[in-house]
Structure 1
Amino acid sequence: MTRQPTPTDAPPTADEAELARRLGALTLEQKVRLLTGADFWSLHPEPAVGLRRLVVSDGPAGVRGELWDERSPSANVPSPTALAATWDEQLVEQLGGLLAHEARAKGVDVLLAPTVNLHRTPYGGRHFECFSEDPLLTSRIGVAYVKGVQGGGVAATVKHFVGNDSETQRMTLDARIGERALRELYLTPFEAIVGEGRVWAVMAAYNGVNGHPMTESPLLRQVLHDDWDFDGLVMSDWFAARTTEQSARAALDLVMPGPIGPWGDALVAAVRKGKVDETLVDDKVLRLLRLAARVGALDGIPATARPSEQDTASVAARLRETAAAGFVLARNENAVLPLNRAVLKKVAVLGPNAAVARTLGGGSATVFPPYTVSPLDGIRAALGDGVEITHGIGVTPQTRTPVAPLSHLRLPDGTGEGTEVRFLAADGTLLGSELRAGAAYTWMGSFGPGVPVGEVARVEVRTVVRATGAGRYAIGGSGIGRFRLSVAGAQAFDVRLQLPPGADLVEGLMTPPQRLHSVELAEGEETEIVLTHDIDIDIDADTESASGSTGEAIGGAVTMFQLNLQPPHGSDDEEIERAEALAREAEVAVVVIGTTEEVESEGFDRTSLALPGRQDELVRRVAEANPRTVVVVNSGAPVLLPWADDVAAVLLAWFPGQEFGNALADVLLGTAEPGGRLPTVWPASERGLPTTEPSDGVLTYDEGLFIGHRGAGRPEWQPPRYDFGHGLGYTTWEYVSLDVPAETPPGADFTAEVRIRNTGTRHGKEVVQIYAGRPASEVERPVRWLAGFAVVEAAPGEETVATVTVDARALRHWDTGTGSWTVEPGTFRLEAGPSSTTLPLTADIAVGRS
């Protein structure tokens, strides 16, 4: 029988007693009102208990706040894969403190991060938004992130509980996960972040697990409440809650967003009819009040902490340092890196991501940074006027026309760069207007102060396009619904854009359908552009796989579209030939390649790991032209690198945030060491990788315990391009000795000491990794798995000792017979080294019987 929680289950502290008193002052209607959001990003205030408005914000790569555009810039931190690649808990905790400062500056109380779903397969669309394929590394980086954020008095929200490891049919799929894999892999990061990180909020996922939608899943109560004693709040992912009684009886506390949703009056009625016990509602409200108290949203109760102040310079320095610390030097033949600036005279900086790089992924992780430093700009700034920098794009991998660059847009009155946005009623009455310094527009439930949202029938964008060069310009719009474009007063098109059946609504937000018009312009010529979008809801029920009502809810809450513009450019053949010529004339060629928003984003999974367009051909031809070719891979997740053994150096840069170019220059020139080690395997081919495609709505995790590097030694194992944990620095290391206790009792932590020597000529950083194995085990296990790690530094010739704590949980397994954790007695083998396949040191430890 399910235990019915009550607000008095635990002996109340003074604060808890005060929260219970405030709870008692509320009527049922007041309590239920608090349990659904007030709008897209906030919760209802309740003066009767001194509760102010609470604000939540997306935030894996920065704190967006309540606006989703250039009017509210946010520090763009490196992507979660980049953070995990540092393997540096202290650095990540400090970054969490920076995010807390950003949150408070934007009036945000609750950050919807971190995302700790695992890299089950590199096809996962939000791979870049998750830390690692490994549960231990994910746990430790996630705990550090949460401690940093909450140390500043801002709530973190660990997500998505659980099994949201891919995007295809994510709102309806049922993930079938074996009991051991669920406990030992997918729940492990959540367990650590609840237990050690003391996180204040958890987000329940869209998907189901083993037959239950997560917003209604018994796992919420059984695992979070009963097993882990979680005292925080569980919120739904946006529009994930779809039922009244089932979700209310589960340990779901908050439905987001609002004010619509399945609770409200329906939940009040269910309580009145005895279908939902009011003690469940009380427990939910108490958890919400507890969260409010922790962030300082209750009168008379101060926040647990305030963030430290951060100025612009310190934020830039922190982001620059963190980006470099996450760069993984995967290959460095003949020590081509670091470059010797004293002998450089000409450097070719090539590739589609050299001048316009990706600093973050699409979807919930998207923010608008105050600036971005491109690789081209960073290298130019670092090398100065004494070195000639040449540039060519090489290829254009995008098939979509990008958002119109501000440099090509002039306000209609000629006063400067930008656009005028006008909000019009059905009869053409002007309801309001604003000047914008961008061409991507998002409004969530509001068009701004003084604009009556219910009366807006269309939004009109007016601007003047100025040609920076002669040629044919593609101009148009992206979005869902009716769009009209006029050029120089003449109508160019009048169309209705729709998503294909079965598409995720977020796909429509991130990569919406486009319509374009071609315009021939002379250099310096200007032409007036007007893009009009009608505000209506015309969403096919099949568009949103969760339900038609969910699609209508999102469509009604969000107005999002873009003005697009593509200046004229050469063909790929012409640009590749130009890149070859530039590379041939330079002493070194730096080629910056990567994914596009079309293939790596929330809302859809990847269908191929190949680099889009002709980027592989570009790399090969540049490398043939210049043997000193350094390839910088600007992707948030693994891509295939078929030319990797034919270039001098490969640097994996992830989505590294707004300081990308400066951090890259630091690493290329040796001012900073590439500090990263791989948090996930980079495959050499696509053979044998787990799928993201459900069958009849079911996605079976057939690989069980053997995801990523844990699959080594299995019949289906394919040797990767680069192993888990791999990464080169600018020095070399000798692994001298590994010392561990001869035996340890079950359930006890122990310490391993790894002595290493810096055998190179530079000060360096090493990530010392320890893997455990159980030869002749009676339990099915991987050959080895990560059991601990430590980051150390040493000067040339210096020896240092990495002290690695191996948590007792690293040796346990889930006993499906008893439904509990246990440790198999006997001998475990420990191996130490710089990656999962380079392990020069070995020692055995005996685990006794309990």
Structure 2
Amino acid sequence: MSKFDIEELIGELTLQEKIALIAAKDFWHTSPVERLGIPSVRVSDGPNGVRGTKFFNSVPSAAFPNGTGLASTFDTELLEEAGQLMAVEAAHKNASVILGPTTNIARGPLGGRGFESFSEDPYLSGMCTAALVNGMQSRGIAATVKHYVCNDLEDQRFSSNSIVTERALREIYLEPFRLAVKYANPVCIMSSYNKVNGTHCSQSKKLLDDILREEWGWDGMITSDWFGTYSSADAIKNGLDIEFPGPTKWRKSELISHLISSKEGISEEDVNTRVRNVLKMIKFAVDNKDKTGIIENGPESDANNTPETAAKLRKIAADSIVLLKNENNVLPLSKDESIVVIGPNAKTKFMSGGGSASLNPYYVVPIYDGIKSKLGKDPEYSIGCTSNKTLNGLWEACVIDPSKGNQADNIGAQAIFYTKPVEDRSPDEKPIDSTTIKQSYLTLFDYKNPAVEESNPLFYVDFEGYYTPEEDGDYEIGLQVYGTALLFIDGELVVDNKTKQTKGTFCFSAGTIEEKAIVSMKAGKSYKFRVEYGSGPTSQTASDFGAGGMQVGIAKKIDENEEIAHAAQLAKEHDKVVLCIGLNGEWESEGYDRENMTLPKKTNDLVRAVLRANPNTVVVNQSGTPVEMPWISECNALLQCWYGGNELGNAVADIAFADVVPSAKLSLSWPFKNEDNPAYLNFATESGRVLYGEDVFVGYRFYEKLQRQVAFPFGYGLSYTTFTFENLEVTADESKEILSVQLDVTNSGSKYAGAEVVQVYVAPTKSGITRPVKELKGFKKVYLEPNETKKVSLELPLKDSISYFEEYHNKWCAEAGEYQLLAGSSSDDTQLISSFELSKTFYWKGL
């Protein structure tokens, strides 16, 4: 065959080959048909970086800021560049498909994967999605917009039934996907785990076929989420093109052949339809092979770890950081000031939330190191208090051979793999594998070895490393596992997570709680740590999660009250304080939701003590979604830095020292407390269902309708300079269906150049139904020198900007009447108002 002709290929494929094509070969690859030249295509997570094909011992990758951080840039041009860089990363992993971006709506602050998503607002979510998709696909890498649809919590996510009105489904939850299709045409879309109104999304004819394909005219490939297929005939008939991962559970050749021959729900033509869409994705990969240089089943590389990559990641991260408060000009910092760095998030490397968004980063710059680099010296430091959910970091602090010191190739633990447990091994038992482990959080469920059965991945690992404490004291040791594990120090059993296990949230909620012990240690003495691990099938928590995982940690036990007092004393002794607090990838992770909005442990006590000791404190909060800040009225300077990826610390320092002037805006409303948020009463899954009781009033739509005050409104963010808006002009051209907006924006400051985000909201003055006060329908970032004025122009689709979904007609309704257009710097600061009219009501469907 001279070219990749889809219809010709379908004609030549056997039924067995067709069935093979609509199920993945393994965790990350589609099935090839070698005799017809159909290659195997590699896919890779995901949302904030391209991991490659391994969780265990993966090749290092670029870590981007998380989704809510990316959206806070309010900069589609920058996000398109980010998408292009993600595509370069994918090519280095020889992956033709990126499993991202995540486009779900942040209904409330507690969603475990809320950090992965972009926003509470469907327009911002959709435009950010489209920008990243356009960037990826311009470089020949297919994007996968996920998770379609209403996958907005983790609680019982495989069975949870999202009960949502048709209007809310259309206006809030489907809308970002519609905008992504309209403005970017993604090659792939991933169905979600959950049900919507009683039907699993991966087999919903309404969602997959009627809306996505027929109404929107999209013709790409729909993939299941991993293990998110629940039927054979229904999923094939109703629109799910490919089941991931492989080997298949639901699309075995003999089963599908039997269903076809017995006319039990599907025909070969149904299979042909699914094959056609899979081949479209493969054709995209084949057609772009010269552009991407991807080699089928090729090796994975970290060669994109370059100064150019670092510079781009640093800019994206800095442009995502939101300046929330800056009273008394605490910021920017000066290198001439004495500065102390305090807090549990200062020296840690929290570059991402947890779950499938996590990856093995090239490196991570902690906030402390970023500040240190600016100052050219080590600032004083105190941890203040701990904020960890569980203990981590043991192997990172160990060496393999104490006689060789802390050289790079000696850091970590030696891991020796066997097919038998310690007690059953003969003295001359030969291992099946060995490697050096440098990470204490190990995901082993994709470990493969010829000596291990794929259907029953039973094996055993002995981990050994030497830990030398820097201080005398009591040290806390922690161990959590999916599988079983025993931890020994100098041959003595210290932690037993084998003989009795308690189910917890570890390893996507498949594993145990953390078992802990306290051990007294002497400074300078080397202690031999040994962990005897049994893989997933040895677990008592009875979950099918492959070869499992393990996390081991260590920390010197501190008196937190004494440490807080010490931190406050240090704060008094310096001109300025950088106080680093927040969450991490264990508090915010795939597999479970947060229980509350509270900062961990004694964080609030630490913040209050430091603020009272020194009002010139910059609080730097790190989280993917809102946290309660009961001390906010006492705080003069506050930065929201999200999970900033590789360049986290440098980006925070760039903002703090005004090498970058802050320009980001909140992609989420920030309530004072969890009870204020619209999904508070209806967030968790109860009796198998979650009621979307807030309807269309999500985020700022809710707070404005009820006139409920928030700590910080949607779209809010300060700068080191000031901006003014003037001369708003609005024209509605009904014949062209265009809403034209123009206004002047001035940098009214005299010292700093900076960027402002013009936000455009539309509000009906009168309507036949209850509608939000106003809704975001356009935005544009503009860069201005001091005292410079620029005219900003936006052209918006008229029908998209004014319509609501009319359930009775099952169509969008553009209602005749007067509308207000509001322009400003946040949802709560719309300085300019104009109006326009629509002369005649009309209904519409589609894009």
TM-score range, shorter-chain basis? over 0.9
Partner of 1:348: 340
Q: Which amino acid aligns with 1:640?
A: E
Q: Which amino acid aligns with 1:755?
A: D
1:187 aligns with 2:177: no
Q: Deviations over 1:149-171 (max 9, x none)?
A: 11111111000000001111111
Partner of 2:279: 289
Q: Which runs of 5+ in 1 are unaligned?
A: 1-13
Partner of 2:583: 595
Q: Which amino acid aligns with 1:377?
A: D
Conservation of the 8 A alpha-carbon contact between 1:744 and 1:845: no
1:378 Cα offset (Å): 0.6
Q: Deviations over 1:124-180 (max 9, x none)?
A: 111100001111111111100001111111111000000001111111011011111
Q: Percent of aligned positions with the same letter in both sequences?
A: 32
For the residue of structure 1 that corresponds to 2:289, the secondary structure is coil
1:120 Cα offset (Å): 0.9
TM-score between both structures, scaled by the size of structure 2:
0.92
Conservation of the 8 A alpha-carbon contact between 1:480 and 1:496: no
Conservation of the 8 A alpha-carbon contact between 1:480 and 1:513: no
Alpha-carbon distance in 1 for matches of 2:705, 2:192:
31
Residues 782 and 747 from structure 1, CA distance in 2 versus in 1: closer, same or farther, beyond 3 angstroms?
Answer: farther
Partner of 2:459: 457
Alpha-carbon distance in 2 for matches of 1:225, 1:148:
23
1:481 Cα offset (Å): 2.6
- The equivalences for 1:192-591 within 5 A come to 192-218=179-205, 219-264=207-252, 265-275=254-264, 276-296=266-286, 301-303=287-289, 305-306=291-292, 312-341=306-335, 343-344=336-337, 346-385=338-377, 389-411=379-401, 416-426=410-420, 427-428=424-425, 429=429, 430-448=431-449, 456-496=458-498, 506-508=508-510, 512-537=512-537, 551-552=543-544, 555-556=545-546, 558-562=547-551, 564-591=552-579
Alpha-carbon distance in 2 for matches of 1:607, 1:382:
37
Residues 713 and 446 from structure 1, CA distance in 2 versus in 1: closer, same or farther, beyond 3 angstroms?
Answer: closer
Partner of 1:125: 112
Partner of 1:791: 781
More displaced stretch, 149-158 vs 680-689: 680-689
Residues 503 and 208 from structure 1, CA distance in 2 versus in 1: closer, same or farther, beyond 3 angstroms?
Answer: farther
1:537 Cα offset (Å): 2.4
Alpha-carbon distance in 2 for matches of 1:493, 1:141:
46
Q: Deviations over 1:21-51 (max 9, x none)?
A: 1122211111111222212122222102212
1:338 Cα offset (Å): 1.2
- The equivalences for 1:700-715 within 5 A come to 700-715=691-706
For the residue of structure 2 that corresponds to 1:479, the secondary structure is strand
Conservation of the 8 A alpha-carbon contact between 2:305 and 2:362: no
For the residue of structure 1 that corresponds to 2:674, the secondary structure is coil
1:655 aligns with 2:643: yes
1:39 aligns with 2:39: no
Partner of 2:299: none
1:538 Cα offset (Å): 5.7
Conservation of the 8 A alpha-carbon contact between 1:411 and 1:418: no
Which residue of the other structure, out of 618, 626, 648, is the alignment partner of 1:630? 618
Conservation of the 8 A alpha-carbon contact between 1:788 and 1:807: no
1:755 aligns with 2:744: yes
Alpha-carbon distance in 1 for matches of 2:619, 2:168:
37
Q: Provide runs of 4+ in structure 1 moved above 4 Å.
A: 307-311, 411-415, 448-456, 497-505
Alpha-carbon distance in 2 for matches of 1:798, 1:482:
64
Q: Which amino acid aligns with 1:225?
A: R
Partner of 1:845: 836
Alpha-carbon distance in 2 for matches of 1:161, 1:305:
29
Which residue of the other structure, out of 26, 35, 38, is the alignment partner of 1:51? 38
Partner of 1:10: none
Alpha-carbon distance in 1 for matches of 2:154, 2:305:
37
Conservation of the 8 A alpha-carbon contact between 1:746 and 1:823: no
Q: Deviations over 1:239-282 (max 9, x none)?
A: 11121122121100111111031111322221121121111111
Q: Which runs of 5+ in 2 are unaligned?
A: 295-302, 843-847
Residues 805 and 223 from structure 1, CA distance in 2 versus in 1: closer, same or farther, beyond 3 angstroms?
Answer: same
For the residue of structure 2 that corresponds to 1:220, the secondary structure is helix
1:173 aligns with 2:142: no
Alpha-carbon distance in 1 for matches of 2:198, 2:457:
43
Conservation of the 8 A alpha-carbon contact between 1:329 and 1:729: yes
Q: Deviations over 1:443-501 (max 9, x none)?
A: 34433577776685312212222222222233353212321222222333544388866
1:774 aligns with 2:764: yes
Residues 615 and 818 from structure 1, CA distance in 2 versus in 1: closer, same or farther, beyond 3 angstroms?
Answer: same
Conservation of the 8 A alpha-carbon contact between 2:330 and 2:637: yes
Conservation of the 8 A alpha-carbon contact between 1:788 and 1:804: yes
Q: Which amino acid aligns with 1:481?
A: G
For the residue of structure 2 that corresponds to 1:234, the secondary structure is strand
Aligned residues, how many?
812
1:820 aligns with 2:811: yes
Q: Deviations over 1:535-583 (max 9, x none)?
A: 352667xx7xxxx8xx42xx23x43112x23232421111101111111
Q: Deviations over 1:279-305 (max 9, x none)?
A: 111111111111011112xxxx45384
Partner of 2:135: 148
Partner of 2:845: none
Q: Which amino acid aligns with 1:380?
A: K
Q: Deviations over 1:86-108 (max 9, x none)?
A: 00001011011111111110111
Alpha-carbon distance in 1 for matches of 2:98, 2:600:
33
Q: Which amino acid aligns with 2:492?
A: A
Residues 525 and 746 from structure 1, CA distance in 2 versus in 1: closer, same or farther, beyond 3 angstroms?
Answer: farther
Residues 497 and 132 from structure 1, CA distance in 2 versus in 1: closer, same or farther, beyond 3 angstroms?
Answer: farther
1:598 Cα offset (Å): 3.7
Alpha-carbon distance in 2 for matches of 1:530, 1:686:
42
Q: Deviations over 1:309-337 (max 9, x none)?
A: 95610110011101110111011102221
More displaced stretch, 241-250 vs 580-589: 241-250
Alpha-carbon distance in 1 for matches of 2:211, 2:319:
35
Partner of 2:823: 832
Conservation of the 8 A alpha-carbon contact between 2:440 and 2:553: no
Alignment RMSD (CA, Å): 2.2
For the residue of structure 2 that corresponds to 1:516, the secondary structure is strand
